[in-house]
Homo-oligomer: A and B are copies of this chain.
């Protein structure tokens, strides 16, 4: 029988595992993270919202190059994951305001770690090859 063991570590442990484990236990949650913050526009949107709440049009103007279609799609994704709050207030015109949720802000810790790792990696790569 195959023994199913959960590794606390992913790459440093010598515990055997099956292809199933490889996929489900380690990879899926990491993929989730990548899906959540990956793509071309998720991070620009999140950082924009971290500064202040934005209306749809404001975001569109601030994030240069984004189309309303993509903005709409990405905002929906972020809202579905509870990172972004969407609030409609009908004055005379339709007005929709997007804001970061507390949960959205809690992404920050992870983002900082990823950023620092990335900065370090880039340093390493550029210093190695010259």
Tell me whether A27 and B10 are in contact (CB under 8 A): no
Determine whether A2 belongs to the interface, using a CB cutoff of 8 Å to chain B. no
Contact of A29 among B8, B13, B122 (CB under 8 A): B122
Q: Kindly state whether residue A108 has any CB partner on chain B within 8 Å.
A: yes
Q: How many copies make up the complex? A: 2
Contact status A112-B43, CB under 8 Å: no
Q: Count of chain A residues with Cβ under 8 Å from any Cβ of B?
A: 58
Known pairs A11-B105, A17-B47, A34-B34; list 19 more (Cβ under 8 Å). A10-B108, A10-B115, A11-B46, A11-B50, A11-B100, A19-B62, A22-B47, A26-B115, A27-B43, A28-B122, A29-B121, A29-B122, A30-B111, A30-B114, A31-B118, A33-B114, A34-B114, A110-B113, A110-B114
Show the binding face of A for B, using Cβ within 8 Å: 8-17, 19, 22-23, 26-34, 36-38, 43-44, 46-48, 50-51, 62-64, 81-82, 100, 103-105, 107-108, 110-119, 121-122, 124-125, 128
Q: List 22 A-B contacts (CB under 8 A).
A: A9-B108, A10-B115, A11-B100, A11-B104, A11-B111, A17-B51, A19-B62, A22-B43, A22-B48, A26-B115, A27-B44, A29-B115, A29-B116, A29-B118, A29-B121, A30-B114, A30-B115, A33-B114, A33-B117, A82-B128, A103-B124, A110-B114
